[in-house]
Each structure stands twice: as C-alpha cells, then as structure tokens.
C-alpha cells in the first residue's frame, strides 16, 4: 500500500484527503502545530523517519489579506516550507505533489482562460509567494507536481471556511447583500471532487498544472446561477472592477483528469449531500 504524508491534514483540503482516502493508502501526517514551529532540519528528519512514497503538501496560509499584513510569516509558510519539502523529497525519492493557487494569475491583463505558460507578475503577496514556490520547487525537484487550485467550497462537516456557497446561503438567511464584479472571472471548485481527482494527479509528470473547475461566466452571473440552483433569493449587487483568474485546464485534461464546470460541480455537491 502506497504511503502518503499529508501536510495540513487538519485543514480544508487535507482533512478531506484523510477522510476520502482512508483505507486506500497508508496515510500519515505531522503532529498538530509541528510545521508552524519546526525548522528545516526537524522537517527533514521527520520525513526521513516516515519515508513516504508521496508527500502531498496542502498546508498554506491562503488568506490574501493576512499574507499582505504578515509577509514574513506568509513567506515561511508558502515558500520556505515547500522548498524544505522539495529538498527532502529529492533526497528520499518521494513524489512531491504541492498545491499552488490561481492567485498567481492576479494582475494578468489577458482575457479568456489562462494557460500555465503565460508570463506572470502576481499582484498580491500570496500569489507572489506561490509563484516563487513553484519556481524554487521545480528547480530542486523536477518531478514535483504543482497544482494551481481555484477557490473551493463545501457545505458541511469537517473544517469549513468562507466560500461562495456558504456566503450565498448566509446572505439569503440574513437578508444581506453580496457584491460581485461583472469583470471578475474565476473558476469555483467543489473540494470533494478536487480531492477525488488528486488521486490520478499523484502520478502526473512533473510540472505546473491548472487544477480545478473552469468557468466561462463572470462572478455576477456565477453567483446568480448558484443562487438559482440552490433555490434561494439573494440581493446581488454589481461592481465593475476587473480581475481574471479563469484558468485553461486543457493540460490537465490531456492527462485524463477532467473536472466538472463550475456550474455542474454545484449539482454534484448537492447530490452528494442528498439535496438533489
């Protein structure tokens, strides 16, 4: 049975990996709080003790505002730590699969779905860190797989964080307004499908991959479509600030890994929870 070391095993993605993959792999994790305080030597020693076949790195500080306010802490978590893991993976011959983010595309002026090959200059600290991480990890460990993930959502159970689905449900319940831009484009992904498709991603050739649901609509239309599918009424206010994080996932599809679209992913989620 393949042994997989999961970082961030108590987090949004990692906890679902531990649940959905139980019994299919030998799953292990660092002690709670270990990565927040450990130095490179301690991390390296822990990996050598566990000798995993795969290191699945889901841990990060992903709040863009927090990263902007705490750049040193963000750099350690989002750049230095995965670099340490890459060195250890190269030394132990483990496969490293690490999460990056669609935020590397923040600041891109090109329209339409964005491929992995375009030049990037991320407009926020979080995206800058993730891009630097990708570059350093690839240099150290060419077989590493870097997954540029979209904004994800889930309904209930296990750790939950702010996401489009819950934001809409809470706004409807409380009679609050939500504001989205007609010039904001991004994919939104059901996290449980992302975890399911992580399994074939473990054997991808080394490189960077856009990883998640594609979306041809702007965020105003997306929010309206989600509200309609959920059967709720939400006051959605329109703005016109511009951002394009919409990713072209054709490189991933060429490897046989295919996500639902943003809109059909929601239907899958509701079916999983017995709501459709």
CB atoms within 10 A of CB 166: 15
- 233 token code pair: 């009424």
| Portion of the chain with pLDDT greater than 70, in percent | 100
- In the predicted model, is pLDDT for residue 70 greater than 80? yes
Task: Quote the pLDDT of residue 108.
Answer: 96
- 14 token code pair: 């990692």
Q: How far apart are CA 88 and CA 55, in angstroms?
A: 10
Show Cβ contacts of residue 183 under 8 Å, excluding neighbours closer than 6 positions: 218, 240, 241, 242, 243
- 16 token code pair: 């679902």
Q: How far apart are CA 32 and CA 197, in angstroms?
A: 26
Task: Quote the pLDDT of residue 157.
Answer: 78
Task: Quote the pLDDT of residue 223.
Answer: 97
Predicted confidence (pLDDT) per residue in 166-198, tens digit: 999 999 999 999 999 999 999 999 999 999 999
CA nearest to 5, candidates 58, 45, 42 = 58
Q: How many helices (H) and strands (E) does the chain have?
A: 12, 10
Please compute, for residue 259, the number of CA atoms within 13 A of its CA located in the half-sphere on the CB side.
34
**222 close to 181: Cβ distance less than 8 angstroms:** no
């Amino acid at each position: 049975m393949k042994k997989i070391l999961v970082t961030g095993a108590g987090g949004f993605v990692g906890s679902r990996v531990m649940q959905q993959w139980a019994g299919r792999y030998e799953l292990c994790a660092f002690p709670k709080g270990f990565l927040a305080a450990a130095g490179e030597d301690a991390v390296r020693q822990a990996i050598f003790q566990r000798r995993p076949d795969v290191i699945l790195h889901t841990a990060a500080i992903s709040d863009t505002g927090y990263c902007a306010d705490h750049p040193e802490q963000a750099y350690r978590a989002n750049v230095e730590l995965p670099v340490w893991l890459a060195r250890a993976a190269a030394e132990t011959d483990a496969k490293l699969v690490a999460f990056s983010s669609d935020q590397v595309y923040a600041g891109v002026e090109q329209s339409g779905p964005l491929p992995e090959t375009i030049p990037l200059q991320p407009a926020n600290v979080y995206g800058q860190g993730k891009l630097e991480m990708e570059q350093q990890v690839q240099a150290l460990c060419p077989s590493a797989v870097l997954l540029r993930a979209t904004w994800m959502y889930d309904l209930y159970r296990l750790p939950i964080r702010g996401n489009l689905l819950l934001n809409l449900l809470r706004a409807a319940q409380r009679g609050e307004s939500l504001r989205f831009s007609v010039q904001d484009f991004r994919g939104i992904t059901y996290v449980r499908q992302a975890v399911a498709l992580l399994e074939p991603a473990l054997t991808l050739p080394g490189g960077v991959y856009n990883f998640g649901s594609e979306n041809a609509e702007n965020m105003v239309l997306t929010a309206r479509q989600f509200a309609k599918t959920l059967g709720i009424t939400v006051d959605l206010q329109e703005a016109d600030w511009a951002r394009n994080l919409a990713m072209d996932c054709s490189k991933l599809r060429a490897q046989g890994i295919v996500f639902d679209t943003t809109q059909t992913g929601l239907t899958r989620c509701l079916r999983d929870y017995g709501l459709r």
